[in-house]
Amino acid sequence: MIDPGIALETTLRDRVVPEQGRIPAFIFSDPTIYRVELERIFQRVWLFVAHVSEVPQRGDYVKRNMGEQTVIVAHGEDDMVRVFLNYCRHRGMELCRSELGNTSHFRCPYHGFTYSYTGALTGVPFQREAYVEGLERSALSLVEARVEMYQGLIFATWTLDGPSLHEYLGDIAWYLDVLVGRAEMEVVGPPQRWRVPTGWKLPSENFCSDAYHTAHTHASIVKLDLITGGTSFGASGYHVHSQNGHGLGLGTQAGADPPYPPEMRAEFEQRLSAPQLALLDRLKNLHGNVFPNLSFLIPTAIHLEGREVWSTTLRLWQPRSVDSTEVVSWCLVEKNAPDWWKRLSRQSYIETFGISGMFEQDDTENWESMTRNSRGALSRNGETDLNYTMGIGRAPMQDFAGPGVVYDGKYSEENARRFYRTWLDYMVAGS
Ligand code: FES
Ligand code: FE
């Protein structure tokens, strides 16, 4: 347990030993740890905020979160996408209340300060009478985050002088090309949102690393005959991890037609390298996580109207409190795909990993239970540290066509160990 007399960093260094597969359960429910995560992780790293197709027109905006703080992602009149803290510089009111819209300016609901698409303070009601000595408007622009984009994914960070987004993504960028860069992608409507009574780490880690649970947790999907191949559908393939705690699992299959419309192939060929296209052609499923909380997924295809159909999803595990996470979940489709594919791909998303999807329900139950159990007294004294040793000692492959550290087979917790190593490094940085 966390001893109030010992520095948090000392406790963490002592108790969290990812390389030995030792993770204490208290990190999933301790309020102090959660507050430190918001400061040392969510205020430092690149965070996904929106897909570019959510703000296609000048004036479009969406309201999002970076950590617990809300931000405005705005497509300006100059075609720049900017991200502002949703915080009026007068008295801290939330400027923007609606989730999305189109506007030429943001006006504060409290006293009416008005900001332009560049974040400049352009309007102050009754300024001459109210500020007789003048008001330095230029010092009161909205607080702006640093923004970069990769394959239509808009990321923002409060760290103005850290690594570029591309440097931060590292080797996982190659796999994001396959996920969302294979074609021009667009979101299917606004994201679905729901709350899960768990912290943000368990689901992020699950998508990053855990193919092992699929055989048991998701066995019902096989019993319902929604997918073929038995309960070992999560076993074959590869695990990949890259710098900065990012990780993914690739399920592969040989000898089956890939479940995408043949009409799309020309665009895929244009945008992907030959090894990326070869991977897409034998892909069965793909799951992963960009540290800290952007997960992505192409679930195993399901039968719909006599076809095998898969979907592409992104989701943020948005921290709300130490044991509450808002899931923000997008379905993406290829913009130039035929209508039947867009319709069925969306249906596939809804039935598998949408808010009421069958897989989704299975997973949520697990995270909720583990979070509840991590609060118990026994889980705080070291006897019930969690076991993350699966796959320790295995050697990575030398001949995989993609970058990163790659392991053959998906029953491994190496990606999770890398996730918690990164987490730990941020949590103790500077101490
Ligand atoms: Fe925004 Fe006063 S708090 S104008
Ligand atoms: Fe799952």
Taking the centre of ligand 1 as the mean of its atom positions, its distance from the CA of residue 94, in whole angstroms, is 9
Q: Which ligand is nearest to the CA of 124?
A: 1
SS3 229: coil
Distance CA 99, CA 339 (A): 28
- Note the pLDDT of residue 38: 98
Per-residue pLDDT band for 227 (boundaries 50, 70, 90) equals: low
Q: What is the pLDDT of residues 12-71, one digit of tens each?
A: 999 999 999 999 999 999 999 999 999 999 999 999 999 999 999 999 999 999 999 999
Q: Tell the residue nearest (CA) to atom 4 of ligand 1.
A: 111
Q: Say if residue 259's pLDDT is above 80.
A: yes
Provide the Cα torsion 302, 279, 287, 305; round to 10°: -10
Distance CA 187, CA 53 (A): 6
Q: Say if residue 430's pLDDT is above 90.
A: no
Handedness of CA 59, 47, 169, 388 (dihedral sign): negative
Judge contact between 108 and 88, C-beta under 8 A.
Answer: yes
Average pLDDT over residues 70-94: 98
Q: How far is CA 380 from CA 32, 147, 389, in A?
A: 14, 40, 20
Residue 353 exposed, middle or buried by CB count within 10 Å (0-12, 13-18, 19+): buried
Per-residue pLDDT band for 353 (boundaries 50, 70, 90) equals: confident
Judge contact between 22 and 385, C-beta under 8 A.
Answer: yes
Distance CA 100, CA 73 (A): 9
Q: Say yes or no: do domains 47-157 and 167-427 share a fold.
A: no
Taking the centre of ligand 1 as the mean of its atom positions, its distance from the CA of residue 91, in whole angstroms, is 5
Q: Tell the residue nearest (CA) to atom 2 of ligand 1.
A: 111
Per-residue pLDDT band for 181 (boundaries 50, 70, 90) equals: very high
- Note the pLDDT of residue 290: 98
Average pLDDT over residues 275-285: 95
Taking the centre of ligand 2 as the mean of its atom positions, its distance from the CA of residue 281, in whole angstroms, is 23
Q: Is the CB of 91 under 6 A from ligand 1?
A: yes
Q: Is the CB of 34 under 6 A from ligand 1?
A: no
Q: Where are the domains of the chain?
A: 47-157, 167-427
Per-residue pLDDT band for 377 (boundaries 50, 70, 90) equals: low
Backbone angles phi, psi at 61, to 5 degrees: -145, 155
Q: What is the pLDDT of residues 131-142, one digit of tens each?
A: 999 999 999 999
Pairwise pLDDT comparison (173 vs 213), residue with the higher score: 173
Q: How far is CA 314 from CA 208, 228, 286, 294, 296, in A?
A: 13, 24, 12, 7, 4
Q: Which ligand is nearest to the CA of 125?
A: 1
CATH topology of domain 47-157: Rieske Iron-sulfur Protein (2.102.10)
Distance CA 352, CA 350 (A): 6
What percentage of the chain carries pLDDT values higher than 90? Answer: 81
- Note the pLDDT of residue 253: 85
User: Which pTM does this prediction carry?
Assistant: 0.95
Q: How far is CA 224 from CA 109, 220, 303, in A?
A: 51, 6, 11
Average pLDDT over residues 373-384: 75
Q: Is the CB of 320 under 6 A from ligand 1?
A: no
Q: Which residues are catalytic?
A: 111, 210, 213, 218, 363
Per-residue pLDDT band for 327 (boundaries 50, 70, 90) equals: very high
Q: Is the CB of 137 under 6 A from ligand 1?
A: no
- Note the pLDDT of residue 10: 92
Of 225, 210, 227, nearest in space to 366 by CA: 210
Distance CA 91, CA 212 (A): 50
Judge contact between 82 and 118, C-beta under 8 A.
Answer: yes
Per-residue pLDDT band for 97 (boundaries 50, 70, 90) equals: very high
Average pLDDT over residues 396-421: 95
DSSP string, 50-108: EEGGGS-STTEEEEEEETTEEEEEEE-TTS-EEEEES--TTT---S--SSEEE-S-EE-
Average pLDDT over residues 92-100: 97
Average pLDDT over residues 398-402: 95
Closest atom of ligand 1 to CA, residue 89: 1
Q: For a pocket test of ligand 1, which of 90, 94, 135 has the largest count of ligand atoms closer than 8 A to its C-beta?
A: 90
- Note the pLDDT of residue 223: 77
For residue 192, the one-letter residue type is Q
User: Which run of H or E residues covers position 221?
Assistant: helix 219-223
Q: Is the CB of 88 under 6 A from ligand 1?
A: yes
Average pLDDT over residues 176-196: 97
- Note the pLDDT of residue 93: 98
CATH 3.40.50.300 fits 167-427, yes or no: no
Judge contact between 187 and 313, C-beta under 8 A.
Answer: no
Closest atom of ligand 1 to CA, residue 91: 3
Taking the centre of ligand 2 as the mean of its atom positions, its distance from the CA of residue 358, in whole angstroms, is 10
What percentage of the chain carries pLDDT values higher than 70? Answer: 95
Q: Is the CB of 90 under 6 A from ligand 1?
A: yes
Taking the centre of ligand 1 as the mean of its atom positions, its distance from the CA of residue 154, in whole angstroms, is 28
Taking the centre of ligand 2 as the mean of its atom positions, its distance from the CA of residue 297, in whole angstroms, is 10
Average pLDDT over residues 101-106: 97
SS3 238: strand
Closest atom of ligand 1 to CA, residue 93: 3
The 8-class DSSP code of residue 210 comes to -
